[in-house]
Amino acid sequence: MIKLFIIRHGVAADLDHEIADESYRYLTVHGRNHCKIIADKLRELKVSPDIIISSPLVRAVQTAEIFASVLGYKNEIKTAIELIGGSPFSRFLSLIRRNSHYGNIALVGHAPDVNEYSHNLVKESSPAVKFNFKNSSVCRIDYDIQKESGKFIWFLDSEKLNLIQ
């Protein structure tokens, strides 16, 4: 059983005349501070990832770096194109399979993909669970790679700082 921690990146700067490309959007000061608050909550829950894998887009990597720092993660943050956005669920599952030798995997990505991936991981065991990942929200799903079956454990709503179980 793998513990998956699916994280949506923090609040990022809007596209404007200085940031003309989506991939260059970076975390705002508010986004950085809010990521630290959420990561502190994960530390209180004793979350300790064996690997952190992020979308290579700036805002996701910055989010992963903040979570890594607060959680005391000392290894390299990996990036995966499967987390950029728009990848089919099958590619996301391949990413998990390739890293299934880790017990605790943190994955930092984008909406709406994090909603879709989380739902698809648990739809057999918890079909009624709906996800609404606001910036910096986190979902824990325990996933059995052999059975290709996930179990919803909790969702940390970043807006209300509420743990939903």
CA 41 to chain centre: 14
Between CA 161 and CA 134 the distance in angstroms is 11
Residues 34, 161 contacting (CB under 8 angstroms):
no
Paired with 150 in beta bridges are 143
Residue pLDDT, tens place only, 19-52: 767 777 889 999 999 999 999 999 999 999 999 9
**Nearest Cα to Cα of residue 4 among 82, 158, 156, 121:** 121
pLDDT of amino acid 146: 93
pLDDT of amino acid 17: 66
Mean pLDDT value of segment 135-154: 95
pLDDT of amino acid 123: 87
Fold of 2-164: Rossmann fold (3.40.50)
Say whether 10 sits in a helix, a strand or coil: coil
**pTM (two decimals):** 0.94
